[in-house]
Amino acid sequence: MKGTMQDIFDIQEKVAENVVKGLKLYLTGEVKKKLAERGTENAEAYELYMKSGEYFARQTKEGYLLALQLLTEAITLDPGFARAFQFKTYVLAMLYRAYDRTPMFFDEAETLCKEALHIKPDLFAIYSPLSQIYMYRGQLAEAEETAREYVRKDPQNANSHFALGFFYMDTRQFAKAIAPYEEAVRLRPEYRVCLLNLAIVCDGAGEREKCRHWARVALPYYGHHLKLHPDDEYTRVDHAHLLFWSGRIDEAHAAAMKFTNLKDGGSLYNAAVLFGEVGDKPEALFTLRKAIEAGFRYIRLLKEFLTDEKDGIFSLQGTPEYEEVKRMVEQIEAEAAGS
């Protein structure tokens, strides 16, 4: 009996050992999976990467600069963190787009792209900022093909369709941007920024009913975000635009009149556009000047707004205020040409 009991104990102990071994293997597999998803085994580097996303989401110059700082630190901690390289490239492209027209950003961004693909050849997300780099260099054919390649390589990823839609939107091919943006929303219905961009391109393409539809779909997402982040000035302006496109024009104008504390150049430029759309041209001109003084440097958009006879401020041409802002834009253009 004693021997039999010992045998039972031995069997139970063996079973317990196997369970523990199996559990260890399972946990190890789960950890490896999580680490693979994160792209780094360095917890601090990953934390910096995630925090950079929060700053980037503000879509302000300060936010972009803080994101770049954190991503640089993350790469220093883990030089093999390909996703940090990819995201830094994207931030550089967006910083160049609106605030800092420094050509050397392209050299750094291309180096980051190559390094990211060297580390992780299947990091298809790199095609998004790479497409933007080509676009801002004026290599439009390469930019479009790169965005299309992203879609071909990762067709079930909403971000790939967003990248193609963004190319068409930023090159003013609004009608072409609608389909890829709609596909991105089909794959990811809560894609807040994409919903906003859909309203923008539908408006630009003259698709008024579609614009109204997507603006109304987007409004609850923007309203919810503002409840959680009431100090997000960029989203406040976007929310007011959505009110306008939804047909709630008086509400949009009332919201815009509360934009007295905006500080970021991009937010101020978008606010100026909204004032132009609701017909308040003097306020649009005043706000545009504030945008330029705050560092907004997207020359093409500035020039378009000056000459737009419908939603811009062209009707104020000849006034001292208009001519002064026009001189400011011309100076920015000359500085960019000489850099």
Regarding predicted confidence, which is higher, 109 or 71? 71
User: What are the tens digits of pLDDT across the range 165-197?
Assistant: 999 999 999 999 999 999 999 999 999 999 999
pLDDT at 315: 94
Instruction: State what percent of residues in the chain have pLDDT above 70.
Output: 88
Mean pLDDT of the chain: 88
What is residue 1's three-state secondary structure?
Answer: coil
Rounded alpha-carbon distances, angstroms, from residue 264 to 126, 136, 253, 322? 27, 22, 20, 21
Is residue 138 left, alpha or beta, with left meaning phi > 0 and alpha meaning psi from -120 to 50? Answer: left
Model confidence band, residue 38 (pLDDT cutoffs 50, 70, 90): confident
CA angle 185, 207, 149 (to 5 degrees): 45
pTM recorded for the entire structure:
0.82
**Pair of tokens at residue 289:** 């000047």
Quick check: 321 pLDDT over 70? yes
Instruction: Please give the pLDDT value at position 105.
Output: 78
pLDDT at 7: 43
Helices (H) and strands (E) in the chain, counts: 17, 0
SS3 state at 323:
helix
The predicted-structure confidence for 132-169, as pLDDT tens digits, reads as follows: 999 988 999 999 999 999 999 999 999 999 999 999 99
Predicted local confidence at residue 1, as pLDDT: 38
Amino acid at 192: R
Which of the residue ranges 20-24, 73-77, 262-266, 322-326 would you say has the lowest mean pLDDT? 20-24
Q: Is the pLDDT of residue 33 over 80?
A: no
Q: Which pLDDT band, with edges at 50, 70 and 90, does 39 fall under?
A: confident
Mean pLDDT of 233-257: 95
**Mean pLDDT value across residues 22-46:** 63
Question: Is 90 exceeded by the pLDDT of residue 16?
Answer: no
For the beta carbon of residue 171, count every other beta carbon within 10 angstroms.
14
- What secondary structure letter does DSSP report for 215? H
At 9 the pLDDT is: 37
- Integer Cα distance of 261 and 259 in angstroms: 6
C-alpha span between 39 and 119 (Å, rounded): 10
Whether residue 19 is predicted with pLDDT greater than 70 in this model: the reply is no
Higher pLDDT, 4 or 201: 201
Structure tokens at 339: 């850099």
Q: CB atoms < 10 A from the CB of 337, how many?
A: 9
Give the pLDDT score at 12.
41
pLDDT digits (tens, 9 = 90+) for 263-308: 999 999 999 999 999 999 999 999 999 999 999 999 999 999 999 9
Q: Confidence class of residue 313 from pLDDT cuts 50, 70 and 90?
A: very high
